[in-house]
Structure 1
């Protein structure tokens, strides 16, 4: 029996069928929507319930429609089968073109990815996302400031409010280490799935996890910092002119806490 060749990546499906030109045109022209991004390994995902909850909550807020988790899981499984892989970067996006009665679910499959673990430098920028609790495509401001940061010799941007309050990275959450506790900025920001899993797992690993206001003028109070997103985590070497200790032991403890979170079967 001949095994069919895997579909070349990246691969996309709309409501369970391979993307057509019309589908992709719709996604390009109507960017109003929401998404979640996940890493799939051996058909399993850490924090799957959090991803599905994020999609349902955002869909209700944007479109006043539920987005049930079971059909979404089947759409992800179908796209992975069609792509011929169980290890992948998967993005699930909800969109509703004008006049449509239901939410269209787009699932894209790319090769697996992992954040570069090398220490990063962040440039603070005066930018706050609209409705930051929602994960949405096409954020011009984040891309714009991220590119400016890279032109200035940094790896990415750090978003801040007018009073200097730290909120989040351009595409990451940020955490700080004061020597005894992990401190997450208490400010309007997206609750990333990796951040949520660390908040859940760190106390059981003997590491206090707290939310407190963090301001640019108070960064010197922290020994170390790190960023997280769906691809993993990395230490922060500097924010503007403030340098941080790259604490390898802290990063090992964070990684162990994250690895303790179970992978859920799709």
Structure 2
């Protein structure tokens, strides 16, 4: 069941979200021991609510609605919290300043997830530091990649540097075993933040040609954890690098937080 402020949601409640596609969200994997990075997810919602709506968001209220939505649900699962204002209008979005809390739950995929093939694509998300619901460009790039025989798209910004994937951060492992993250405008991922507590990490500019010479590459988000990239375009990459294994193990060992 999907709820709005803890109550069953109606089609009329959802129509403004579908019609305007204006809002923001976070998705969290719920395992039997809780949610990895729960506090970071709440921080994201609070921060993005101020950016998108100019409003304060009570994380305790969010936790309460999520707790209610998960009652009786089997884990693992994915819970998504979307913040939007049912009063928003396309002609006057500035008039909407009373964001509400939409909670939905779906089944979770297996972790660790299998490797993926990605196709490079020239694209940069709007307002990339916000996890917003404007996914048309990202999903169009993903669809185009899948039609070409790949699993997803890897974005190359207007400066020619790699940024992120369709709905995930991307990391690379260099010859020294250092984990490299693109030093450009990307979504500050929760899973990425958790991984940075393990091993040696560095932010740096990475071109597509450089990416194809790395020891390994991986996608990461809350749903998939650490997922190796087996190919970037037609370049094959190692999927069983020891640093990848350590990162995956470190992520899976990260204790969950309870609501």
TM-score, normalisation: structure 2? 0.90
- Where does residue 142 of structure 2 map in the other structure? 146
1:43: how far off? 6.3
Give the SS at the match of 1:263.
coil
Q: Are the structure 2 counterparts of residues 49 and 104 from structure 1 closer, same or farther at C-alpha, using a change threshold of 3 Å?
A: same
- Where does residue 239 of structure 2 map in the other structure? 246
Q: Which among 200, 203, 220 is matched to residue 208 of structure 1? A: 200
Distance 2:173 2:49 in 1: 35
1:33: how far off? 0.6
Give the SS at the match of 1:123.
strand
Q: Are the structure 2 counterparts of residues 226 and 128 from structure 1 closer, same or farther at C-alpha, using a change threshold of 3 Å?
A: same
Q: Are the structure 2 counterparts of residues 188 and 234 from structure 1 closer, same or farther at C-alpha, using a change threshold of 3 Å?
A: same
- Where does residue 222 of structure 2 map in the other structure? 230
Give the SS at the match of 2:257.
strand
**Contact 2:215/2:241 (CA < 8 Å) preserved in 1?**
no
1:132 has 2:128 as partner: yes
Give the SS at the match of 2:55.
coil
Distance 1:43 1:14 in 2: 26
1:160: how far off? 0.7
Distance 2:257 2:147 in 1: 40
Which segment is superposed worse, 238-247 or 54-63?
238-247
Q: How many residues align?
A: 250
Matches within 5 A, 1:37-76: 37-42=27-32, 44-76=34-66
1:176: how far off? 0.5
1:19 has 2:9 as partner: yes
1:191 has 2:191 as partner: no
- Where does residue 164 of structure 2 map in the other structure? 168
Deviations 1:221-265 (A, max 9, x none): 411111111112211111113221122533320112213322100
Q: Are the structure 2 counterparts of residues 26 and 219 from structure 1 closer, same or farther at C-alpha, using a change threshold of 3 Å?
A: closer
1:100: how far off? 5.0
Gaps of 5+ in 1: 1-10
**Contact 1:43/1:86 (CA < 8 Å) preserved in 2?**
no
Q: Which runs of 4+ in 1 moved over 6 A?
A: none
Alignment RMSD: 1.7
Q: Which among 82, 86, 89 is matched to residue 78 of structure 2? A: 89
Gaps of 5+ in 2: 89-94
1:112: how far off? 2.5
Distance 1:238 1:128 in 2: 21
Distance 1:20 1:170 in 2: 29
Distance 2:110 2:15 in 1: 29
